[in-house]
Amino acid sequence: MTIPFSLRQLRYFSAAAKTLSITEAARQLHISQPSVSTAISKLEDSLQTPLFVRHHAQGLSLTSAGRLLAAEADALLKHAQDVHSTLREFSDAGAGSLSVGFLVTLAPTLMPLCLKGFLSRYSRATLTPSEGGQDFLLASLRGGLLDCVVTYDLGIPDDVEFKPILELPPRVLLPRTHALAACETIEMSALAAYPMILLDLPLSREYFQSLFIDAGLVPNIFYRSAHTDVVHAMVAEGFGFTLWNFPGHTVFGRTDLPIESRVLHPKGRSIRLGLASAAMTPKRNIVQTFADYCTVALTAYPLDVHAAGRERAVDEHDGEF
């Protein structure tokens, strides 16, 4: 169906309907009075009905048709502006709204790191973060509630695209007083004899237990917790070791926990850290910009708890973006 009027005509009509004056409408629109009058006349011709009653030297009054259109005009104009703004986001790489999810085990470290650096660089972007388990995040992607997710490649379905950034082999986190803390490399067979604190989250628990199963071993699970801070606190207090992939010393920004990180042998299956997005959804430029930023920021992040200069802020790598 052909729309018999333009948005410009509708905007001029709306201004006149609010002011009931061609002169005042022209002043607010910063255009000439004849331009307003011509636009309204063409609008009335296209609709084949008068919208105003003209009163000589006394302004305008709305007809019943004019009142009906005036009630809808603002909503139509606002919707047109929203569509325009949304479409601009596809072409503007540094502006627009962005909804990003973070896997709950990564959120304490990576959410503030990614958000602070990204927003300081792209001040015209609006970023809405959230955190949750893998199932919640993937469902939010499919439902259009999230643009992308910072997560692991665990349980990624075919309709979700995953861009890997880092490959993270499993490591052993153990208290400094642990009998194996003096070893630089710890054998899986040696771990089986000691109590384990297991991160009890969907996919995570299956992954960590599979490392023992693949080695023909059974873990000695002393305690299970779905909270990363509890797992690390239990390890720090000497109740057992845990297996981890992302650097344990970074949890909640703390480096003072009496926890050591050691290489696991055989290292077992690594998991990949990256960004997930809905495979069939067109990606706006701002989403790609965020993905590019995270790729550099996370690649620069120190993964070894003994790495020199581990306190470096990601902002030091600004020149690389």
Residue-level pLDDT at 313: 36
Q: Which of 314, 272, 244 lies closest to 166 in space, CA to CA?
A: 272
The answer, yes or no, to whether residue 316 has pLDDT greater than 60, is no
* CATH number of the domain within which 40 lies: 1.10.10.10
Last residue of a domain, one of 91, 121, 153: 91
Residue-level pLDDT at 192: 93
Joined together, the tokens standing for residue 36 give 């307003």
- Average pLDDT taken over every residue of the chain: 85
Q: Are 302 and 309 in contact (CB under 8 A)?
A: yes
Q: What is the pLDDT of residues 196-224, one digit of tens each?
A: 999 999 999 999 999 999 999 999 999 99
Q: Which of 40, 39, 148, 46 lies closest to 103 in space, CA to CA?
A: 148
Q: Which domain holds residue 80?
A: 7-91
Residue-level pLDDT at 273: 94
pTM: 0.64
User: Which letter, b or e, does each residue of 23-41 get, where b requires 16 or more Cβ atoms within 10 Å of its Cβ?
Assistant: ebbbeebeeeeeebbebbe
Residue-level pLDDT at 252: 42
Residue-level pLDDT at 108: 87
User: What is the bridge-based pairing of β-strands 125-132 and 148-152?
Assistant: unpaired
Residue 2 within a domain: no
Residue 1 within a domain: no
Residue-level pLDDT at 103: 94
Q: Based on the domain organization, do 184 and 305 belong to the same domain?
A: no
Q: Based on the domain organization, do 176 and 256 belong to the same domain?
A: yes
Q: If you ran DSSP here, which 8-state letter would residue 123 be given?
A: T
Residue-level pLDDT at 99: 93
The answer, yes or no, to whether residue 171 has pLDDT greater than 70, is yes
Q: pLDDT tier at 125 (50, 70, 90 boundaries)?
A: confident
Residue-level pLDDT at 147: 93
Cis peptide before 266 (omega within 30 of 0): yes
Q: What is the pLDDT of residues 269-315, one digit of tens each?
A: 899 999 999 988 777 888 889 999 999 888 887 655 433 333 333 34
| Alpha carbon distance 204, 30 (integer Å) | 62
Query: What percent of the chain stands above pLDDT 70?
Result: 86
Question: Strand pairing partners for 261?
Answer: 173
Q: What is the pLDDT of residues 2-21, one digit of tens each?
A: 677 888 999 999 999 999 99
Number of domains present in the structure of the chain: 3
The residue assigned the tokens 């930023």 is 293
Q: Based on the domain organization, do 111 and 123 belong to the same domain?
A: yes
Q: Based on the domain organization, do 85 and 126 belong to the same domain?
A: no
Q: Based on the domain organization, do 143 and 282 belong to the same domain?
A: yes
Q: Which of 54-58, 138-142, 311-315 has the highest mean pLDDT?
A: 138-142
* CATH number of the domain within which 245 lies: 3.40.190.10
Q: Based on the domain organization, do 83 and 33 belong to the same domain?
A: yes
- For the ranges 76-80, 83-87, 115-119, 211-215, the lowest mean pLDDT is seen at 83-87
Q: Based on the domain organization, do 177 and 225 belong to the same domain?
A: yes
Q: Based on the domain organization, do 181 and 223 belong to the same domain?
A: yes
Q: In the predicted model, what is the mean pLDDT of residues 101-111?
A: 91
Count of residues for the chain? 321
Residue-level pLDDT at 93: 59
The answer, yes or no, to whether residue 319 has pLDDT greater than 50, is no
Q: Based on the domain organization, do 131 and 174 belong to the same domain?
A: no
The answer, yes or no, to whether residue 257 has pLDDT greater than 80, is no
Apex 312 CA angle, 311 and 318, nearest 5: 160
